[in-house]
Amino acid sequence: MGLKMTIRHCLLGSCAFLLLASACATSSKTAKPGRGLAKKKGSAAKAAPAEAKAAPSESSSNDKSKSKVQPSAAAKAPKGAAVVEAKKPPPPPPPPPPPPEPEIPSKLREPLYCPTPSEVQPGIDLTIRCAVKPALATRAVVLQYRLSGAERFVSTDATRSPKGWYVVKIKGNDVKGTSLQFFAQAYNSNNKMTASNGTDESPNILLIRKAASGTAEMGGAELPVSDEDPLARIQRERALESGLSTEVRHRPARNLWLALGLGSGYGWFPTRTPELYTGASVKGWASGGILHLLPEIGYQWTDHIAFSLQGRYQFVHTEAIGNAGNAEPKSWAFAVLGRMYLFTDNLFGGTRSLQLFATGNLGAGTAFRLYVAPSPSATNSNANFVHSDTVNGGPFAAGLGGGVVYHLTNTFALAAELRALAGFWDVATVIEAGLSAQVGVWSPGTRKVAAPKPETELAPEPEYTPPE
């Protein structure tokens, strides 16, 4: 009984022990995974900084590998590009800036002023500048130029610069040969020519010399000079002074002028009856009187043609011997002559300040008288003249003349003339010399109109910087 109880207790105890052991085993199994997860979490937390540290190293290694790879690929590409760039020509250097535009002189010696040098260079752009006196109220300036070997002039309208010059640019391709001719004309709002510088018959001539560097600028008398020349400024100043000293002066076209002159002459007449002693017969050479006045009004139609009306009032010397009696000889003569002038240029060194001219004369009146000395005289030995007498040539008179005129300014000139007049129906001739002063008094088209606005000055272009 006791043994049975002991065995039963042992079995129950072993069963309880087994149950307890299995329960402990189960609890230990469930507890171990939690600890492992915690350990894993801890290890992961420790591994994160390591991975963070490793990541840069990996990225840096990747970058290094990429940098090692990229230069090789880039090295291959730029080599080809460098070869292509080497074959291309270098960009051209920027053109030199044009010289600054000169100022217009405060006083212009002629209505249309176009300063030019005597020589220009071929193959370079040519700039011609002209200035007009403000009183002319100019609307436009037209420049006409003729290339070397060409038959006709090329007409070009000038543009107004900001400083007031009228500018025409001729391309360098047209500047060739031995010379270039040009002349300029100014027009008012009514399209009437108010001034000119040269004409188609007598243009300005520019000689073309061998090529050199630079750009020809005419206007302010700038000569083409090399950019490397340290004396360029001095040369331009000397050219300007030379241009001013050789500036031509002449009366402009479309100009009304007045003149006053004095003259005297000597004539010849065939066998004639004198005016006082009608019963006598005289002939030979005789004086044309003391002097004669020559008032004149004229119109300068072009640079080479002018028309005028001239009065000729002659004073004849009278003389008496013995008892003169009541008879009085004629002591004056008067005529009105229509005249035409033809002027020539390019004489006496090529200056138009000094011009030769020829005249044609036709008029009427008492014309002119020749002096006949009283008797006894070698010319009148067949008559007993108490008084001197006269022979009339007229009432019509015609003749030719020629002379020289010097323009002190564009409006004032001095002229000297020698001419021969023939009188008819009463036949006689006289050769006379005269001096006169001519003054320009008026030019049509001086009504003030709005001047053209100057062109807006363009902003300067940015400087060219060559690529490295």
Please tell me the distance from the alpha carbon of residue 5 to that of residue 27, in angstroms, as a whole number: 32
The pLDDT assigned to 453 comes to: 46
Which residues, 6 or more positions from 424, have their beta carbon under 8 angstroms from its beta carbon? Answer: 393, 394, 396, 397, 398
Could you list the beta-strand ranges (E) of 273-373: 282-287, 291-300, 305-315, 332-344, 354-365, 368-372
pLDDT per position as a tens digit, 261-274: 999 999 999 998 89
pLDDT per position as a tens digit, 389-417: 899 999 999 999 999 999 888 889 999 99
Which residues, 6 or more positions from 251, have their beta carbon under 8 angstroms from its beta carbon? Answer: 257, 300, 407, 410, 411, 413, 438, 440
Low-confidence stretches of the chain (pLDDT beneath 50): 28-84, 212-217, 220-232, 236, 239-246, 349-351, 378, 445-459, 461, 464
Do 405 and 415 form a contact (C-beta atoms < 8 A)?
yes
DSSP 289: -
Whether the pTM exceeds 0.85: the reply is: no
- How many helices (H) and strands (E) the chain has is answered by 2, 21
Do 413 and 392 form a contact (C-beta atoms < 8 A)?
no
Structure tokens at 240: 């300007």
Q: How many CA atoms lie within 13 A of 435 on its CB side?
A: 2
- Give the residue among 205, 207, 225 at the shortest CA–CA distance from 215: 225
Please tell me the distance from the alpha carbon of residue 149 to that of residue 151, in angstroms, as a whole number: 7
